[in-house]
Amino acid sequence: MKKIIYISTLFMLINNIAMAQISNFYKKEYFIESTDNVQLQIKEIYDVQNLNVNILPLIMVHGGGPDAITSFDLDTEFPSFAEELASKGIHLFLLNIRGWGKSTLPEYNLSNKNLIIGNVDEASADIQSALNWISAEFKYQKINLFGWATGGHWISYAAIKNPSKVNSIISLNSLYAINGNWSSHKFYASPDDNMKYNKSSLFRETPKETLTASWTNTIPVQDKTKWRNPIIEEAYKKQACQYGIDTNVFKVPGGFQEESFYMALGKKYWNAKNISVPTMVIRSEYDFWSREIDLIAFKDDFPNDIRSEFKTIKGTHYLFLDKDDKGKKELIDLILKFIE
């Protein structure tokens, strides 16, 4: 009996030590200056017991959905995606582009109907500001960039405009400029001309209860709990809406929608042939945002003399929030291997 008790106690002790190590992360939020008097929110994360100084840091950029902190460091009882990456030794910086999270917006003339709030030039300026600040503050000469969905559009453009501080870029589930069928086209097209964007608002506003509808609809099993933890889904919706006046509505700049609409019709805001840093492009098989032709066209345009990888993962658009065996573990492995 005593032997069983001792073994049980020892197991609990080892488990508690392991859990303490998993949760032993350094986290700090900063606010830095960007162009147009914007203040950017950045969250630093690393594992204090397992920081690999031989791996250059990784800036993680959200897309047109919730901010980077909500997307990658969701506050639940389970390890976040950022924590899982940090536990592998990566020094992370989660960047919120202007208008997302606690990052501010410039003073716009909202009566200007041609205004595109959160456009690729603004996002690129914010990414460059983050690169400059991290380089100066932490003495890194080069930094890796990760962008999800529209974030992949933004980091690619930023790497083309000023590659000097960029070590590599990783784009996940992003559009590339090629004309082809796009499932979201009908939501953004003008009723008078489906080749023109319907600019009904300068912002994206989505009710909290429908924020994860596309995620739910693309999970390829009837019982969604086998693919996604319902606690994660609810926390995601709640945290995403916490920044606005109305906490039942998710509101962010809508410029990404207009640019994405025209990219899916073939408009090139940038060309992959001009990227000069190592690049990995990843697409989820069940993604509703990017298309297979985006991955193919990006690869076709990419320079042959620059290191590149093009991968497809059997996951959803939100694979880093899904269960480990639904694409998340494979994504972590790909990121780690590419930037090591």
- CATH code assigned at 271: 3.40.50.1820
How far apart (Å, rounded) are the C-alpha atoms in residues 59 and 54?
A: 16
Q: Two tokens at 67?
A: 């901010």
How far apart (Å, rounded) are the C-alpha atoms in residues 299 and 301?
A: 5
Residue-level pLDDT, tens digit, the chain, 340 residues = 444 444 444 444 444 444 444 459 999 999 999 999 999 999 999 999 999 999 999 999 999 999 999 999 999 999 999 999 999 999 999 999 999 999 999 999 999 989 999 999 999 999 999 999 999 999 999 999 999 999 999 999 999 999 999 999 999 999 999 999 999 999 999 999 999 999 999 999 999 999 999 999 999 999 999 999 999 999 999 999 999 899 999 999 999 999 999 999 999 999 999 999 999 999 999 999 999 999 999 999 999 999 999 999 999 999 999 999 999 999 999 999 999 8
Q: Two tokens at 251?
A: 């509101």
> Which pLDDT belongs to residue 202?
96
Contacts of 37 (CB under 8 A, 6+ apart): 104, 106, 107
> Which pLDDT belongs to residue 188?
98
Contacts of 315 (CB under 8 A, 6+ apart): 284, 285, 286, 322, 326, 327, 328, 330, 331
Angle between helix axes 120-138 and 150-161 (nearest 10 degrees) is: 70
3 state SS of 243 = coil
> Which pLDDT belongs to residue 23?
56
Q: Which domain holds residue 266?
A: 2-339
Number of domains in the chain: 1
Entry field: residues in the chain: 340
How far apart (Å, rounded) are the C-alpha atoms in residues 41 and 128?
A: 14
Q: Residue 230 carries which side chain, given as an amino acid letter? A: P
Could you tell me where the beta strands, DSSP code E, fall in 118-266? 143-148, 166-172, 203-207, 249-253
